[in-house]
Amino acid sequence: MSTRRELLVIGAGVATVAATGGAGKPAPAHGPAGWAATWAAAPTTIPVRGAPTVLEGQTIRHVVHCSTGGDELRIRLSNEFGETPLHVSAVHVALRAGTGASTAIVPGTDRRVTFSGRPDPLIPAGSPLVSDPVRLRLPAGGDLAISLYFAGRTTVTTLAAFAFQDNVIAQGDVTGARTITAQSVIGQYLFLSGVAVRERDGAAIVTLGDSITNGANTQNNLNHRWPDLLGARLRAAKIELGIANVGISGNRLLHDPNPPAGSDAETFANYFGVSALRRFDRDVLAQPGRRFVIVLLGVNDLGHPGTVAPPSEVVSADDLIAGHRQLIARAHDAGLTAIGGTILPFKDDTLGFYSVENEAKRQKLNRWIRTSGEYDGVVDFDRAMGDPADPIRLNPAYDSGDHLHPNDAGMAVMASAVNLRLFR
């Protein structure tokens, strides 16, 4: 196995190449018979305060935007935060018709989904469940409508809270209906965490991050998250790699959610998901065909203490570097190529993250990501997204308004900052 690899450092659209040690050549795709993730959503749980969603005699129809295509697919459901078995009365999948907020399906494409031969699976508490293969020709970049029916009273405990896609809840079992009438529209994925397709040489990129990777502040229903736009670039370049986006808004590298008792954060902090160090095996290593991981984490570790987490959870740059080293080691142990993303600028953000001290930590962490050679490749999001007149501030042209999250144009710049030579 080779001990040398190209380290690609991307800054404001300029690539430089240097030799560095690494984990050797990328490992072959993992998973049976070329299965590769084409879509993913990392599951989290419900807040400690507030009324959870309850379904009874209702269908939830999700729309998911897939990266790669194939003739067979598998669906992953999740009851990982449930304390009792989850009974799903029916599951159907079809090609989505239309664009935007449409939840209609293409005639003739509806398929019933079974799990170990059962059309009404019972998912054990704390467990995911992977479907049997479904014969359905999915085009690369296509959308699926995935419908789950719950006949009995079901409290939603496991979900991806920030979908940036309108999904609908309808009365009755309408899992196979061409169109459905919405009782309500939600921006979440309920009990749904992944889709994989069978490919000859199936392989996938996993994007591990926080709200910026999850797609925060982009326009709903347009699939303008930077991993989606990276997927479009890969398809245009005829590089057959799926994208499994496991970004979670509010996620931290080192800490689980810990809202101060009695604070408003108790109504939302659990949506932030457990720490990246804790969820790495579930959200990255368990992805079918995972071959590369792009990591963009650390801004919430800097900004949450004293805002939505206790001040006692303040971290140093060295703490963050140690956490990133753990992700690299675990990725390499599993044969993945690990790519590090530098933290975007956030001077004068409206969320209270910025301080002189946090900026010094960001600079030290970014310098280590760029220059240490410990990641197998680097995407310099910081340099691509900074204001030319004030590089520690987000470029106003790419600012969604809070001076921390990019807008849709900024997401496109982030996707363009990823040098595709990393994956060839």
Residue-averaged pLDDT of the chain: 93
- Tell me the pTM: 0.93
Q: What is the CATH architecture assignment of 5-30+203-423?
A: 3-Layer(aba) Sandwich (3.40)
Q: Can you give the pLDDT at residue 43?
A: 97
CB atoms under 10 Å from CB of 312, counted, come to 8
| Exposure letters 188-209 (e unless 16+ CB within 10 A, then b) | bbbbbbbbbbbbeebbbbbbbb
Domain boundaries, the chain: 5-30+203-423, 48-195
Mean pLDDT of 49-65: 97
Give residue-wise pLDDT tens across range 376-416.
Answer: 999 999 999 999 999 999 999 999 999 999 999 999 999 99
> CB burial class (10 A; 0-12, 13-18, 19+) of residue 32?
exposed
Query: Strand runs (DSSP E) across 125-264, as ranges?
Result: 128-130, 134-138, 143-150, 154-155, 158-160, 167-171, 184-186, 189-190, 192-198, 204-209, 242-245
Bridge partners, residue 59, by sequence: 149, 170
Q: Can you give the pLDDT at residue 33?
A: 59
Residue 347: which of 403, 307, 399, 410 has the closest Cα? Answer: 403
**CA 42, CA 78: separation in Å to the nearest integer?**
10
pLDDT range class, residue 200, cuts 50, 70, 90: confident
Mean pLDDT of 175-195: 98
Residue located via tokens 């998911």: 64
Residue located via tokens 């995935």: 146
Q: Is the pLDDT of residue 19 over 70?
A: no
Give residue-wise pLDDT tens across range 61-111.
Answer: 999 999 999 999 999 999 999 999 999 999 999 999 999 999 999 999 999
Give Cβ neighbours of residue 423 (< 8 Å, ≥ 6 apart).
Answer: 205, 234, 239, 241, 292
**CA 330, CA 338: separation in Å to the nearest integer?**
9
Q: Is the pLDDT of residue 1 over 50?
A: no
Q: 3-class SS at 269?
A: helix
Bridge partners, residue 122, by sequence: 87
